[in-house]
Amino acid sequence: MTFEIQKRLVSRTGHLGRAGVIHTPHGDILTPAFIPVGTKASVKAVLPESIAQTGAQAVLANAYHLYLQPGSDVLDEAGGLGKFMNWQRPTYTDSGGFQVMSLGSGFKKILSQEFAGKPADDNAVARGKERLANVDDDGVWFRSHLNGVRHRFTPEISMRIQHELGADIIFAFDELTTLMNTRAYQEESLERTRRWAQRCLRAHKELTHSRADKPYQQLFGVIQGAQYEDLRRKAARDLGSMEIDGQQFDGFGIGGALEKYRLGTIVGWVCEELPENRARHLLGISEPDDLFRAVENGADTFDCVNPSRVARNGAIYSPDGRFNVTRAEFKRSFTPVVEGCECYTCTHYTKAYLHHGFKAKEMITYTLATIHNEYFTVQLAEGIRKAILEDRYEEFREETLGRFYAKKR
């Protein structure tokens, strides 16, 4: 058994939320949990040891980027992702599908042209730029964003790459759609992703057998369907019941484009259809309100680049909301970056120091800000877990969100 439910969340939102544990060869992941993103086998500007000190239980790297540089074969020879990057805890890799079909495409990821009253576009050209990715039923041709060289990804190639990367949890190859695509194209894409999922299961079983000396890697199927309830539910049922040569998905990723205000609803549709005894990972979210909505509706783990990305621009998370430490008011603020925070940054440095560092463009500042933001997000997910286990989830949610978003109200 790779996933166990420890306690269900019973609240006004229903019974989908839960605290659990994911078992991997490199340790257990106690859920709900936030998984920091180390895209290229590195959380930007931060040592793996420092990420471990934030309480992070795992990191997620990107198959597309590592395939292009340095190559999945290099990581395989090095002993896998964890050993290569000196990370002793569990690891995830995504399939590369998101990057293959989004980088350079010229498509917005959130705003639907249909909903905005603009014509939908399923063609290969957007805003006068050639799309770098071209999809067919067998796979995707794409051009590297590094040098323009043409490459091919198929379900089988994605599985081979991720087996060579050696992460504990890997994802099936799926087609990314956006809210700009028509309903007809969403249906076509969903069927393509379903067939690719079958091929991923078959390839995963074959690779697991041929690489029997390696630890078992859990394969998560990815649920698409944009904002259509029937498509999301169908995808969840299809992948939840899918079995190829005795191989099933060990868990599921919830992906694809959606509008923020519908996140909880869409996660709920999916989780109502998925098997309860397998983990669910929500791709690409980290804001406090999103974490609570996702947990309430059945998601177990989450990843997002946002905590580190905004940190490098001086944005700092605090219980009272986000603030920018580069503002003039912090030039002589010789108090901890966030009062009461126990992360390395806040117990050793002041807002004045970070303010100076950003103004002077000192690299250490990016490191210190990232450590804090990752700590904040990891600890928020841990706080949600504890609140579920201690039957005080509702109170924790209201207190946390009421304080974080108070200035916006």
For 310-334, what is each residue's pLDDT tens digit?
Answer: 999 999 999 999 999 999 999 999 9
Q: Tell whether the torsion through CA atoms of 305, 308, 311 and 317 is positive or negative.
A: positive
Residue 119 belongs to a domain: yes
Residue 111 belongs to a domain: yes
pLDDT-above-90 percentage for the chain: 82
Strand partners, 281: 253, 301
Write out pLDDT tens, residues 86-125: 999 999 999 877 777 665 343 333 323 333 334 445 544 3
Residue 270 belongs to a domain: yes
The mean pLDDT of 20-28, rounded to a whole number, is 98
Write out pLDDT tens, residues 137-166: 999 988 888 888 888 999 999 999 999 999
H helix or E strand, kind and range, residue 321: strand 321-324
- Domain CATH code at residue 8: 3.20.20.105
Question: Between 133 and 167, where is the model more confident?
Answer: 167
Residue 309 belongs to a domain: no
Strand partners, 283: 303
One domain for residues 95 and 242: yes
Whether the pLDDT of residue 281 is over 90: the answer is yes
One domain for residues 216 and 324: no
Query: Which residue's structure tokens are 């029937």?
Result: 230
One domain for residues 399 and 282: no
Structure confidence at residue 95 (pLDDT): 87
Which residue, 270, 304, 338, sits at the end of a domain?
304
One domain for residues 229 and 350: no
CA–CA separation, 30 vs 290, rounded Å?
19
Give whole-number Cα distances, 313 to 45, 287, 373, 380, in Å: 13, 17, 12, 21
Full-model pTM: 0.93
Structure confidence at residue 143 (pLDDT): 84
One domain for residues 275 and 324: no
One domain for residues 163 and 193: yes
Which residue, 277, 304, 331, sits at the end of a domain?
304
- Residue 65: CB atoms within 10 Å: 19
Residue 85 belongs to a domain: yes
Our count of domains for the chain comes to 2
Query: Which residue segment(s) compose the domain that 333 sits in?
Result: 315-408
Residue 297 belongs to a domain: yes
Residue 173 belongs to a domain: yes
One domain for residues 132 and 17: yes
Residue 310 belongs to a domain: no
One domain for residues 160 and 57: yes
Write out pLDDT tens, residues 168-214: 999 999 998 888 889 999 999 999 999 999 999 999 999 999 999 99
Structure confidence at residue 116 (pLDDT): 33
Mean pLDDT, the chain, as a whole number?
A: 91
Q: Which residues are catalytic?
A: 94, 303
Helices 363-389 and 351-360 meet at what angle, rounded to 10?
Answer: 140
The mean pLDDT of 123-136, rounded to a whole number, is 54
